[in-house]
Amino acid sequence: MSDNGQFNVNCSIIKLMSNESQKADRRVQKTQQSLRNALIELILEKHYDTISVQDIIDRANVGRSTFYLHFRDKEDLFRGDWQRMLEYFVGQITPENLQAGRIFPIQEIFEHLKDFHRLYRALVKSGKIERLFGYGQKYLAERIEVRFQNGFNLESQTAIPFPILANYLASEVFSQLKWWLDNEMP
């Protein structure tokens, strides 16, 4: 620190910049959430393929340039929400669950998804669900494999290669999820 107090001034500027960054991050999060909510509302109202970016930005009350600042297109917006949900699934793979014999806490995950049954029905009606589940299964399998390789000492406990095990688990989760939703969530 110099005698003229420049160090303190610089620290104050950095702190101010940090606060501005946090405000901007909250604004970005709020905008992105508004766009996500708008897309979901629109999916519940009409066929996915008929929804345009203009419909989304009108519903979210944001400008076109703001939309494209955050997303490439409506698929990018939709895929981002889907990936967040899949990351939630992957986050449930913990050493504690593995030790308890539960790789996925399926019951808890399905309880969480009950609120999305209307959205699922709308996606089925739109013909979007098969592609979405296919993408989800592939993404989930990749994330499970990474999780197994990086976070768990399973190599000595299983003779099944991680890619096969991860794909099996992801396909079973999606198979059960589809069955559960198609049968009105028994």
Give SS3 for 9.
helix
Give SS3 for 51.
coil
The per-residue pLDDT for range 129-179, each reduced to its tens digit, is 888 889 889 998 998 888 888 766 655 566 788 899 899 989 998 899 889
Q: Annotate 60-123 with DSSP letters as a single string.
A: HT--HHHHHHH-SSHHHHHHHHHHHHHHHHHHT--HHHHHTT-SS-HHHHHHHHGGGHHHHHHH
Say what the pLDDT of residue 147 is. Answer: 82
**Cβ-count burial of 148 within 10 angstroms (0-12 exposed, 13-18 middle, 19+ buried)?**
buried
Closest Cα partner for 46 from 156, 155, 128?
A: 128
The more confidently predicted of residues 68 and 107 is: 68
The per-residue pLDDT for range 50-90, each reduced to its tens digit, is 999 999 999 999 999 999 999 999 999 988 878 888 888 78
